[in-house]
Structure 1
Amino acid sequence: MSLTRGTLAAVALIATGLAVTPQSAEAGVVVSSSGPSAGQFPVGRQIGGNERITLRDGDSVTVLDNGGTRVLRGSGSFTLASQSGASQNRAFASLTTQRSATRARTGAVRSANVGEVSNPSLWYVDVSKAGTICLPADQGVRLWRADTQAESTYSVGTGNMTSRITFPAGEMLASWDASNPPSEGTTYQIGHGSGSNAVEVKFVFLDSAPSAAEELAATLIANGCMEQLNQMSSAMMGE
């Protein structure tokens, strides 16, 4: 476990101009943008409630603000304070609840797209997604799969040392070997079947996960945990 995980996140935020100050603590955080003006609204930019935002035709900016998400679409001039946005605190709470192994339910969450299954927790490691994953340091690592119909075995390791993790039929979760936990910064491969579709993941362990959505988004961005940022913003938009 890194000695300064929380500090590293803060340093990274300062280095990228995203440091949370008393004024910016009330600011929204850009979680996605597209269109002609996307370069002006990079992921992680903070926008004050009364800051005027000018968009062009084809622009779309999604901002995590006040416990919910707001989508601004051009053309036009906007302020977050003047925009209505439904609170999605319930979705955020569900995503970030640290469930014990005995309380984690078998099953999955259906998204708004018929037939599509989504990961119900920010702290479950999706075996199909590559990238850097932020996890609370005080809980074990649990792997999640979307298809629960049949028993399935995955290989997990660094190439030189691998172990096998089996999902029983009907179960969406399987635990990482607690006697050989992953190390922060090490690249691991999670593979299934022939291994040709293995994904590579790295871990960042957080001494404490922020309880506010905007602060957690900033922490995910600072540590490069972009899949989880996308997961959080999508869930909070009700997708």
Structure 2
Amino acid sequence: MFSVRMKRTMAAMALGGAALALPAAAVAGVVVKSTGPSSNSYPVGTKLDDEASITLKAGDVVTVLTSDGTRVIKGAGTFRVGDRPQVASNRFASLTRKRAATRVRTGAVRAPEDDVVSNPSLWYVDITRSGTFCLYDLATVRLWRPGTEGTATYRITGHGESDVQAEVTFDDTVTVAALDPARVPVTEGGHYMITAPDGTTSAEVNFVLLADDYEAPDLLAEALIAKGCSVQLEALASTMEASAEAAS
């Protein structure tokens, strides 16, 4: 006859084995891009676990970021979210590297000679796009311009208790320039106007500080959505989508 102690040991082992047999928790993903007839059914910000299925129509494209990778789902048909995510950690690391946004020398950042020039860092502020920008450090703001030809000077004006402004010059072929924090201190929630060389408004921006270090694409996407940083979310989604399709 088993002793009471032996019975307890066997019961504990059985419970442990049952726990090991349980399936792993479903990985949640977040929709970061949605186009086509069903875009209203799966808007940006929708959370989906990897066991979920979505039904799409012809012309639909839904991009989902998870901790395991990127899934680009195209209609028509019914698809399981967790099937075959593409991992593109190198592209994500390159796009979100903080060092690129904090280094002092920016003249080495040049545009490629091929077709479309894209912002190489999520932390460079696109001077042609209005909106809210999420940054880790408001004292090291770097401005990015899509064009590269010729020297161009932009004026940055901050609006608050007292208006402050500074000029930022991009040298010929250079795409990134630093904003002097002594001339225009950037504050969270502050409103700033960027004026082009011809005197027209290039963009109106404000800033939000990211307190946490998001090392996974899906977690960063959720933070950008929550903070309203749509320009950066769009850049993140497009980069991860292109990487996933290239790897498929």
Please say whether Structure 1 and Structure 2 have the same fold, judged by a TM-score greater than 0.5.
yes
> Are the counterparts in 2 of residues 68 and 88 from structure 1 also a CA contact under 8 Å?
yes
1:101 partner amino acid: R
- Do residues 237 (structure 1) and 238 (structure 2) align? no
> Are the counterparts in 2 of residues 68 and 237 from structure 1 also a CA contact under 8 Å?
no
- SS across alignment from 1:81: coil
The answer to which of 44-53 and 133-142 deviates more is 133-142
Q: Give the greater-gyration-radius structure (CA).
A: 2
Deviation at 1:235, TM superposition (A): 1.2
4+ runs of 1 displaced by more than 3 Å?
A: 102-105
> Are the counterparts in 2 of residues 67 and 89 from structure 1 also a CA contact under 8 Å?
no
Residue number in structure 2 paired with 1:161: 164
Could you list the runs of 5+ residues in structure 2 that have no partner in the other structure?
1-23, 244-248
Residue number in structure 1 paired with 2:120: 120
Matches of 2:112 and 2:43, distance apart in 1: 30
Q: TM-score, normalised by structure 1?
A: 0.81
Q: TM-score, normalised by structure 2?
A: 0.78
1:195 partner amino acid: G
1:190 partner amino acid: I
Distance 1:164 1:139, change over 3 A: closer
Aligned counterpart in structure 1 of residue 175 of structure 2, from 172, 177, 183:
172
Deviation at 1:204, TM superposition (A): 0.4
Matches of 1:184 and 1:121, distance apart in 2: 20
Deviation at 1:85, TM superposition (A): 3.3
Question: What aligned pairs does 1:132-147 form with structure 2 within 5 A after superposition?
Answer: 132-137=132-137, 140-147=140-147
Q: Could you list the per-position Cα deviations for residues 138-172 of structure 1 after superposition, in whole angstroms to 9, with x for gaps in the alignment?
A: 75101111222321100001364321111122322
Q: Between the two proteins, what is the percent identity of the paired residues?
A: 40
2:144 partner amino acid: W
Matches of 1:149 and 1:156, distance apart in 2: 21
Residue number in structure 1 paired with 2:189: 185
Could you list the runs of 5+ residues in structure 1 that have no partner in the other structure?
1-21
Which structure has more relative contact order (CA 8 Å, sep 6+)? It is 1
Deviation at 1:53, TM superposition (A): 1.2
1:186 partner amino acid: G
Residue number in structure 2 paired with 1:16: none
Matches of 2:138 and 2:38, distance apart in 1: 41
